[in-house]
């Protein structure tokens, strides 16, 4: 006889009825082979006494088990574990501990990646020098919540059902108009797909271009996620140099003569990470090469909206008459990284394929959020917000640049970026970012790793320092900590 009294527990304060709690435990006993098929169960009266519950509850338990097929009731004979169940090896009586242990490892083989990922840490006590992110303290998330609410209040119930795999139609129409006006594009709505952000755009473009169609070209210093995505897709990746005018397009031409190029990834407005703009001459050269050698240009225009000194340079996509440019953007930088809405612009037939693929990974976007974004663009709130923060970010850029120049000129160099949210700070070769980074971490200042982005072994000895997310106090503090570390570490040595 199974010691029901010891094994079965229940808690009347739980939201799950007691009879369900008990049924589920009996099912577990059956599944684990502790109660084997054809075992006779106690009468309802006996079990009620054992468990100190009302007999009616036990009757409910047995009814539940019967309806689910775990037991059978033979009139005038008794209640039995169903004889048609398979006999299983008896398992431990205390499943929880071992189950948890076991569950750390899958009981089947699968493909393991060789990726290491350190999860994001949000620690308010530390000052993070990011890669070039907006200041969330200035974000327009209030406007989004208001738009969200006003859309819900309109009670158009059909917006709560499944939506188009191309993205919500109203947002697509809004984005088409917005991009045509601000980026000099001349697209129609079937040339645009909404995404969750740039990363999804890069994934979809890689998938559809296809690794069999040739090599994927990136800069010797390049945005990290995109190289990771190409590698993960098992694409052949070719590396070309980046100089003061951006990607060296002559090297692309040489490469095209050697092998089939499928695509080139370019951040033409502000090179990521070096912040330089692709020169006019190279823009034309790149488009001409794309036409001639029939490759795709994946143009990631990640911070078009942030340009300080002259008007932003129109994207390559604005001048692509041959259907070579796949244009990727997102609202991550203008709204907030947590708000996941982006877009993919390409020739109509490519967008059709992208929508098919999007269906497999995600089906569709979040309709309510997409409608809220459309509303803040249509109302002009997004544009007003951009104008407002642009002034603030320009001041921050100028402050960080002037302090770096004034305080750290002997140690490092940089070019004032025309736009974007970060400065590419190159440390003189005799100094080591690791030393500064470790010492800074002790003072709760978290700097980037200089090894990032270096796919061509350029030993650039540079980091991106995001200025947009730092207020003036934080900028002053950052430079001051770095300076004190440099003085402490290096000057002492020199004086000895």
Report 311-350 residues binding its own copies (CB under 8 A). 311, 313-314, 318-324, 336-340, 346-350
Please say which residue, 75 or 83, places its beta carbon nearer to its own copies: 83
Strand partners, 41: 79
Q: Find, among 328, 332, 308, 334, the residue nearest to 316 by Cα.
A: 328
Asked if residue 464 lies in contact with residue 424, where contact means CB atoms within 8 angstroms, the answer is yes
Q: Find, among 262, 259, 258, the residue nearest to 218 by Cα.
A: 262
**Is the four-CA dihedral 270, 276, 279, 282 of positive or negative sign?**
negative
**What burial class does residue 133 get, using C-beta atoms within 10 Å of its C-beta: 0-12 exposed, 13-18 middle, 19+ buried?**
middle
CB of 395 to its own copies, least distance (A): 20
CB of 138 to its own copies, least distance (A): 9
Asked if residue 26 lies in contact with residue 61, where contact means CB atoms within 8 angstroms, the answer is yes
Sites for its own copies among residues 200-259 (CB under 8 A): 200, 203, 207-210, 212-213, 228-229, 232
In order of 360, 393, 404, 468, 477, the CA distances from 471 in angstroms are 42, 9, 15, 8, 10
CB of 173 to its own copies, least distance (A): 15
Which span (216-224, 363-371, 402-410, 451-459) binds its own copies, by CB under 8 A? 363-371
CB of 386 to its own copies, least distance (A): 12
Asked if residue 291 lies in contact with residue 324, where contact means CB atoms within 8 angstroms, the answer is yes
Q: Phi and psi of 265, rounded to 5°? A: -95, 130
Please say which residue, 49 or 368, places its beta carbon nearer to its own copies: 368
Asked if residue 425 lies in contact with residue 414, where contact means CB atoms within 8 angstroms, the answer is yes
Strands 78-81 and 71-74: antiparallel
Q: Single out the residue of 235, 296, 404, 481 in contact with its own copies (rule: CB under 8 A).
A: 296
Which span (140-148, 396-404, 433-441, 475-483) binds its own copies, by CB under 8 A? 140-148
Sites for its own copies among residues 8-27 (CB under 8 A): 14-17, 20, 23-24, 27
Q: Single out the residue of 1, 74, 100, 457 in contact with its own copies (rule: CB under 8 A).
A: 100
Residues that contact its own copies, how many (by CB under 8 A)? 145
173 makes contact with its own copies (CB under 8 A): no
> Which residue's entry shows tokens 């002492």?
492
Q: Single out the residue of 115, 409, 429, 442 in contact with its own copies (rule: CB under 8 A).
A: 115
Sites for its own copies among residues 151-170 (CB under 8 A): 152-153, 157-166
Which span (190-198, 396-404, 449-457, 472-480) binds its own copies, by CB under 8 A? 190-198
Please say which residue, 289 or 401, places its beta carbon nearer to its own copies: 289
Nearest 5°: CA angle at 459, between 456 and 465? 105
């Amino acid at each position: 006889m199974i010691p029901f009294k010891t094994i079965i527990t229940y808690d009347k304060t739980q939201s799950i009825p007691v009879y369900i709690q008990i049924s589920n435990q009996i099912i577990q006993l059956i599944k684990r082979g502790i109660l084997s098929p054809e075992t006779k169960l106690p009468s309802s009266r006996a079990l009620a006494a054992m468990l100190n519950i009302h007999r009616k509850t036990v009757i409910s338990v047995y009814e539940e088990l019967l309806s689910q097929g775990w037991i059978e009731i033979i009139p005038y004979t008794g209640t039995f574990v169903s004889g048609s169940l398979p006999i299983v090896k008896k398992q431990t009586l205390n499943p929880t501990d071992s189950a948890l242990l076991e569950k750390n490892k899958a009981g089947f083989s699968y493909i393991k990646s060789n990726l290491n990922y350190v999860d994001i840490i949000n620690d308010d006590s530390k000052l993070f020098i990011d890669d070039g992110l907006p200041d969330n303290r200035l974000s327009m998330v209030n406007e989004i919540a208001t738009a969200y609410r006003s859309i819900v209040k309109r009670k158009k119930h059909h917006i709560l059902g499944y939506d188009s795999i191309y993205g919500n139609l109203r947002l697509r129409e809004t984005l088409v108009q917005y991009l045509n006006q601000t980026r000099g594009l001349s697209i129609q709505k079937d040339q645009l797909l909404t995404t969750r952000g740039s990363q999804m755009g890069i994934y979809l473009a890689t998938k559809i271009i296809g690794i069999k169609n040739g090599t994927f070209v990136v800069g010797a210093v390049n945005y990290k996620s995109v190289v990771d995505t190409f590698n993960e897709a098992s694409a052949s990746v070719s590396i070309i140099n980046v100089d003061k005018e951006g990607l060296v397009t002559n090297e692309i031409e040489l490469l095209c003569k050697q092998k089939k190029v499928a695509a080139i990834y370019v951040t033409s407005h502000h090179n990521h990470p070096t912040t330089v703009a692709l020169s006019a001459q190279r823009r034309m050269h790149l488009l001409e090469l794309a036409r001639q050698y029939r490759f795709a240009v994946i143009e990631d225009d990640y911070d078009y909206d942030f340009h300080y000194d002259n008007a932003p340079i129109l994207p390559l996509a604005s001048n692509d008459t041959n259907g070579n440019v796949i244009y990727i953007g997102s609202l991550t930088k203008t709204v907030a990284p947590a708000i996941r809405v982006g877009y993919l612009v390409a020739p109509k037939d490519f967008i059709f394929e992208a929508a098919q693929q999007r269906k497999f990974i995600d089906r569709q976007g979040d309709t309510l959020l997409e409608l809220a974004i459309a509303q803040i663009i249509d109302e002009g709130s997004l544009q007003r917000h951009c104008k407002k923060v642009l002034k603030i970010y320009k001041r921050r850029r100028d402050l960080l640049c002037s302090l770096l120049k004034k305080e750290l000129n002997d140690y490092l160099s940089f070019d004032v970026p025309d736009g974007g949210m970060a400065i590419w700070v190159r440390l003189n070769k005799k100094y080591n970012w690791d030393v500064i980074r470790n010492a800074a971490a002790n003072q709760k200042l978290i700097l980037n790793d200089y090894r990032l982005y270096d796919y061509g072994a350029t030993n650039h000895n540079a980091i991106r320092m995001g200025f947009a997310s730092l207020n003036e106090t934080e900028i002053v503090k950052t430079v001051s900590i770095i300076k004190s570390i440099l003085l402490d570490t290096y000057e002492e040595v020199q004086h000895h």
